[in-house]
Homo-oligomer: A and B are copies of this chain.
């Protein structure tokens, strides 16, 4: 890894915990070749999309069942050794780094769709199922799972980080779409939370306590999700705007009027330029909104007309419709490639990604001030946003050899988060806290609320073995 000096100050100073040889031997006796201590495997499981430099876990266990997860947890607990569940490694804030050492549990062998209940619009999956796999497997039912964070993430990882993405403006996030869970606790016991009923007032909402807990309270081993009828009609549109402000004000108006838009994504001119180059497109290099409408043919038409009228009021132009699945796929591929296109626009760079979310009325203020600041910094960047939810991401493209650039980007992120909190927002809309945002969480929630979180953690994981060193300092 490059320029470690620039990174280390961000990491909490905690000691690596001892992983006794006897534990590794026990795991190998139990799992055979599915317990690996090879450096390459450990290194692959010891990093995600963040840029922290942390030693890899001591071993990786490739589990295939809930009972195997429980067995790993019980063995690790007997030695007070940390456990870190691993999905596809697409987390952005260092969630799965072995900051205190320990064992990585690779969940990808648990990749079965356990039950599809089309008549109830529910599905139950193992955590290693990816959102893409899930949608492929249920396509014939005429149903789909809408949450789309961009990466081909695992459902387990998405549950653990309370993920959302482009469709959340209409369908909600993992918070709204997880109905029930199976979880292995820190004591190695298997519990079930929730039921397939759409609603319940039966006791504490353990389901939502585990959703977004980032592996720090237990290992999620099965997830029951809401799914939705594929809309009778879908249409997508792209519209350019003379300024980011015009695009944002259009979005605000759409939301405030209650248009049930399925997606409304902002892409700034830097992103458009990068996407054009990356994907061979010829989009006008101006801020644009990418939108999608779901419903009956008449309903989609009605939404589209309302939105076109609003966009015209803010000088939106080049309204272009994608009516066929192929055209829509092309548009959304462009959006999903924005991150990698952005990264490639500065060869050799490393990207620092931000993730704030504010009430929609504060979006223009938060976003425009942050754009001014990014422009003034001289650091190349791109900007994309799930603006219908008030959520957006800057990608600052820094030279990894330059600690100045790193510090500038971190300072920009710091001011961005402060601004979002001042405007009643949150320090992370969908990426989670991980390692990077522990101080921000304390600024946002206050010491009292974080103290409550710590109390919960200590109560449910007294040995502090479940993904320790994340979310908050104990």
The residues of A with any CB-CB pair to B shorter than 8 Å are: 117-122, 161-164, 168, 172-173, 175-176, 185, 189-193, 195-206, 208-209, 211-213, 217, 228-229, 252, 255-258, 296, 298-299, 302, 355, 357-362, 389-391, 424-433, 437, 440-441, 444-446, 448-453, 455-456, 458-460, 471-472
Beta-carbon contact of B205 and A212 below 8 Å: yes
**Known: A200-B429, A202-B441. Is A190-B122 also a contact (CB below 8 A)?**
no
The chain B residue sitting closest to A295, CB to CB, is: B299
Q: Tell me if B201 and A162 are in contact (CB < 8 A).
A: yes
Q: Is B119 a contact partner of A256 (Cβ separation < 8 A)?
A: yes
Contact status of A197 and B361, CB under 8 A, knowing A172-B176, A208-B208, A445-B203 = no
A398 to chain B, nearest CB (A): 24
CB distance from A187 to the nearest CB of B (A): 9
Count chain B CB atoms within 10 A of each CB in A202, A212, A228 and give the residue with the most.
A202
Known: A197-B357, A198-B357, A203-B453. 4 other contacts (CB 8 A): A192-B446, A205-B209, A208-B208, A209-B209
Q: List, sorted by A's number, 15 A–B pairs whose CB atoms are closer than 8 Å.
A: A119-B256, A190-B448, A191-B446, A198-B390, A200-B429, A202-B426, A202-B437, A203-B212, A203-B453, A204-B212, A204-B217, A204-B471, A208-B208, A455-B460, A456-B460
B453 touches A195 (CB 8 A): no
Least distance between A408 CB and chain B CB atoms (Å) = 24
Quick one: closest B residue to A208, CB to CB?
A: B208
Contacts of A430 in B (CB 8 A): 199, 201
Name the one of B172, B198, B204, B302 contacting A298, with C-beta atoms under 8 angstroms. Answer: B302
A471 CA / B206 CA spacing, docked (Å):
14
B452 close to A168 (CB less than 8 A): no
Residue from the set A121, A168, A424 with the largest chain B CB neighbour count within 10 Å: A424
Q: How far is the CA of A451 from the CA of B189 in the complex (A)?
A: 11
Residue of B nearest to A355 (CB): B201
- A173 to B445 Cα, complex, angstroms: 24
Chain B residues contacting A425 (CB-CB under 8 Å) are 195-197
- Hey, which chain B residues are within 8 Å of A432, CB to CB? 201
Partner of A302, one of B168, B296, B426: B296
Which B residues are in CB contact (< 8 Å) with A206? 445, 449, 452-453
The CA of A429 and the CA of B426, in the complex, are separated in Å by 31
Contact between A196 and B302 (Cβ–Cβ < 8 Å)? no
Smallest CB gap from A231: residue in B = B258
Which of B229, B424, B448 sits near A197, CB closer than 8 Å? B424
- Say whether A117 contacts B449, CB under 8 Å: no
The CA-CA distance from A448 to B118 in the complex, in Å, is 29
Contacts of A449 in B (CB 8 A): 191-193, 203, 206
Q: What is the minimal beta-carbon distance from A75 to any residue of chain B, in angstroms?
A: 19
Number of copies: 2
**Chain B residue at minimum C-beta to C-beta distance from A434:** B201
Q: Are B191 and A201 in contact (CB under 8 A)?
A: no
Which residues of the other chain, B, contact A360 by a CB distance below 8 angstroms? 119-121, 198
Q: Which of A358, A429, A449 has the most B CB atoms < 10 Å from its CB?
A: A449
Contact yes or no, B298 A200, CB < 8 A = no
* Given A161-B201, A201-B429, A445-B193: A120 touches B452 (CB 8 Å cut-off): no
Are B162 and A205 within 8 A (Cβ)? yes
Name the distance in Å between A393's Cβ and chain B's nearest Cβ. 13
Bound form: Cα–Cα A358–B175 in Å: 20
Q: Which residues of B contact A197 (CB under 8 A)?
A: 357-359, 389-391, 424-426, 429
How distant is A156 from chain B, measured CB to nearest CB, in Å?
15
Q: Which residue of A189, A197, A448 has the most chain B CB atoms within 10 A of its CB atom?
A: A197
In the bound assembly, the distance between CA atoms of A195 and B420 in angstroms comes to: 11
A-B pairs, top 8 by smallest CB distance, nearest first, are A459-B459, A200-B426, A191-B448, A119-B361, A229-B258, A208-B208, A120-B359, A196-B424
Report how far A373 CA is from B59 CA in the complex, Å.
57
- B-side contacts of A296, CB under 8 Å: 302
Residues from chain B with a CB closer than 8 A to the CB of A173 are: 199
Most buried by B among A120, A164, A428: A120
How distant is A279 from chain B, measured CB to nearest CB, in Å?
Answer: 28
What is the minimal beta-carbon distance from A433 to any residue of chain B, in angstroms? 6
- A119's closest neighbor in chain B, by CB? B361
Q: Which residues on B sit within 8 Å (CB–CB) of A161?
A: 201
Expressed in whole angstroms, the Cα–Cα distance for A212 and B200 within the complex equals 9
Would you call A458 and B459 a contact (CB within 8 A)? yes
Smallest Cβ distance from A387 to chain B, in angstroms? 11
